Amino acid sequence: MHSTMKLSEMKTNDELLAEQLTDPGFRAEWERTALARAVALRLVRYRADRDISQRDLAELLDMKQPQVARLERGDVNPGIETLMRLSGALDIEFTIDVRPTNRKAVLVTRRAQDEALTSYATPRAVALVAAA
């Protein structure tokens, strides 16, 4: 007999992620790759908004297509040089805020905080990545 699950019984992406984040190994990797995921999301959105290929984006960035593919997969946390290249070529502003958990954001705008692509916290620090 085949049972079907109602849509209302299915877990949301946020619920599934919350479950996975209870695993210390998964959580450590999730936190380590936060910047990479944020940049990947922004690049994919950039290409989709303009209907361009990875090859086209690579040309804009003076990169090879496999480099763009790695960035879009979130395989690597980009360095400051890569973020500067993305910002300059694509007119994207990145905001990265890393601070102790006991301190409120002072240097980050309310908009960056509201539109963060990702944010996460460890027991001692908080990180936020926003792009516009």
pLDDT digits (tens, 9 = 90+) for 74-104: 988 899 999 999 999 999 988 888 889 899 8
Percent of the chain predicted with pLDDT > 70: 95
State the pLDDT at residue 13: 79
State the pLDDT at residue 107: 83
pLDDT band with cut points at 50, 70 and 90 for residue 48: very high
> Taken in order 52, 54, 55, 61, is the CA torsion positive or negative?
positive
Of the two residues 119 and 55, the one the predictor is more confident about is: 55
Report which of 39, 35, 33, 34 is spatially closest to residue 69, judged by C-alpha positions.
39
Given a contact cutoff of 8 angstroms between Cβ atoms, the answer to whether 97 and 105 are in contact is yes
Separation CA 65–CA 124 (nearest Å) = 38
Separation CA 123–CA 43 (nearest Å) = 30
CATH of 22-131, one of 2.60.40.10, 1.10.260.40, 1.10.645.10, 3.40.50.720: 1.10.260.40
For the record, the structure tokens of 110 come out as 């309310």
Residue 5 pLDDT > 70, yes or no? Answer: no
Of the two residues 54 and 94, the one the predictor is more confident about is: 54
Report which of 89, 98, 86, 99 is spatially closest to residue 131, judged by C-alpha positions.
86
